[in-house]
């Protein structure tokens, strides 16, 4: 028996990268995981791999109706939701503030930030199946470094995600703990441009005290720990997972 045995977790953007690595660990520890994503091909792969340990749902996290409907389906299937990873995110088109068109700005704000409000609200409104519920949000070190030039909307949403974490932790205490992770550069699809070029991998690695980029599994380890009872006295924290950068 582990802390997560038969607990229900919801992972947004869980069909690839960090979300998938978190879902994988939670399932290994005995949880049932609702995986929300817009990539139907990858959702089908998750279903094939994990069977009835997962509920795969095609959900755009920026769409309130879709979010509320999907949360109701999870509660009907499994009785409630104990843990939430607000993880779905996009980097957006690389543009300076001068060039950033309104539609692209709205898209990045909606997927990276509005979604956290919508999904957290749906999570809180679902029935409780346990007394120690927890949320982990995906911020980024871009919240304090400003990220790469051209990703200003992305960095701004991550700064807001850290503030959202501090505020929501106060709002939901003492019943639900809320923390965030701030990864550095992690080898997932969102960073495919960096990882396609060995010179840019080396340049990035040189800026990092541990001298290498990170993996989704390393971020997942920190996420699962923060979600678990081992972090029972921690709330409102943003934890860097960045090799010391
Ligand atoms: N990889 C990094 O270097 C890094 C660094 C800091 C923070 N992060 C954050 O980690 C989170 C996960 O990113 P990742 O690195 O695993 O990238 P990823 O691209 O592998 O995963 C993101 C997932 O979100 C899904 N998604 C996108 N838009 C969605 C929507 N509207 N509704 C539902 N799902 C949607 C994608 O289909 C994808 O499966 C993001 O919030 C990202 O900003 C990543």
Q: Is 62 a domain residue?
A: yes
pLDDT block averages, 10 residues each, the chain of length 245: 94 98 98 98 98 98 98 97 98 94 97 98 90 96 96 98 98 97 95 88 94 97 98 98 97
Centre a 10 Å sphere on the Cβ of residue 104 and count the other Cβ atoms it contains. Answer: 14
Please state the atom number of ligand 1 nearest to the C-alpha of residue 16: 39
Q: Is 226 a domain residue?
A: yes
CATH number at residue 87: 3.40.50.720
List the residue whose alpha carbon is closest to atom 17 of ligand 1.
Answer: 190
Closest C-alpha to 56, from 11, 92, 97: 11
Q: Is 123 a domain residue?
A: yes
Pairwise CA distance, residues 139 & 125, whole Å: 23
Closest C-alpha to 220, from 13, 1, 20: 20
Q: Is 101 a domain residue?
A: yes
pLDDT of residue 81: 97
Q: Which domain holds residue 102?
A: 8-241
Residues 6+ apart with CB under 8 A from 77: 55
Closest C-alpha to 22, from 245, 195, 235, 226: 226
Q: Is the CB of 13 under 6 A from ligand 1?
A: yes
Q: Are 218 and 209 in contact (CB under 8 A)?
A: no
Q: Tell me the best of 89, 93, 145 to mutate to test the pocket of ligand 1, counting ligand atoms within 8 Å of each CB and taking the most.
A: 89
- Dihedral pair phi/psi, residue 219, rounded to 5°: -70, -40
Q: Tell me the best of 25, 190, 222 to mutate to test the pocket of ligand 1, counting ligand atoms within 8 Å of each CB and taking the most.
A: 190
DSSP 131: S
pLDDT of residue 212: 96
Q: Is 171 a domain residue?
A: yes
Q: Calculate how far, in angstroms, residue 159's C-alpha sits from the geometric centre of ligand 1.
A: 16
Q: Is the CB of 14 under 6 A from ligand 1?
A: no
Q: Calculate how far, in angstroms, residue 1's C-alpha sits from the geometric centre of ligand 1.
A: 31
List the residue whose alpha carbon is closest to atom 43 of ligand 1.
Answer: 89
Q: Is 185 a domain residue?
A: yes
pLDDT of residue 1: 86
Q: Is 3 a domain residue?
A: no
Active site residues: 154
Q: Are 37 and 13 in contact (CB under 8 A)?
A: yes
Structure-token pair, residue 50: 């994990």
Pairwise CA distance, residues 245 & 240, whole Å: 8
Please state the atom number of ligand 1 nearest to the C-alpha of residue 91: 43
Q: Tell me the best of 40, 45, 59, 88 to mutate to test the pocket of ligand 1, counting ligand atoms within 8 Å of each CB and taking the most.
A: 88
Q: Is 1 a domain residue?
A: no
List the residue whose alpha carbon is closest to atom 23 of ligand 1.
Answer: 13
Q: Is the CB of 23 under 6 A from ligand 1?
A: no
pLDDT of residue 193: 84
Pairwise CA distance, residues 80 & 123, whole Å: 9
Angle between helices 115-125 and 152-172 (to 10 degrees): 20
Tell me the CA distances in angstroms from 85 to 11, 179, 199, one per residue in order. 5, 10, 33
Pairwise CA distance, residues 228 & 112, whole Å: 24
Residue 241: strand pairing partners: 183
Pairwise CA distance, residues 222 & 211, whole Å: 19
Domain count, the chain: 1
Pairwise CA distance, residues 107 & 104, whole Å: 5
Pairwise CA distance, residues 78 & 27, whole Å: 15
Pairwise CA distance, residues 135 & 146, whole Å: 25
Pairwise CA distance, residues 53 & 100, whole Å: 41
């Amino acid at each position: 028996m582990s802390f997560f045995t038969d607990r229900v977790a919801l992972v947004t953007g869980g069909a690839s990268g960090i979300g998938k690595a978190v879902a994988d660990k939670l399932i290994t520890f005995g949880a049932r995981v609702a995986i929300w994503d817009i990539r139907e091909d990858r959702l089908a792969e998750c279903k094939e791999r994990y069977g009835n340990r997962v509920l795969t749902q095609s959900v755009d996290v920026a769409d309130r109706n879709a979010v509320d409907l999907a949360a109701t389906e999870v509660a009907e299937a499994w009785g409630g939701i104990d843990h939430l990873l607000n993880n779905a995110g996009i980097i957006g088109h690389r543009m300076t503030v001068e060039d950033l068109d309104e539609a692209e700005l709205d898209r990045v704000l909606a997927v990276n930030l509005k979604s956290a409000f919508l999904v957290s609200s749906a999570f809180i409104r679902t029935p409780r199946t346990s007394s120690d519920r927890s949320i982990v949000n995906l911020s980024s070190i871009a919240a304090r470094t400003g990220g790469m030039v051209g990703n200003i909307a992305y960095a701004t949403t991550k700064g807001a995600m850290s503030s959202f974490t501090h505020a929501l932790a106060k709002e939901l205490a003492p019943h639900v703990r809320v923390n965030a992770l701030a990864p550095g550069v992690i080898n997932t699809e969102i960073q495919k441009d960096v990882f396609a070029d060995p010179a840019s991998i080396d340049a990035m690695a040189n800026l990092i005290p541990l001298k290498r980029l990170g993996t989704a599994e390393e971020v997942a380890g920190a996420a699962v720990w923060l979600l678990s009872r081992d972090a029972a006295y921690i709330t409102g924290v943003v934890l860097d997972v960045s090799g010391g950068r």
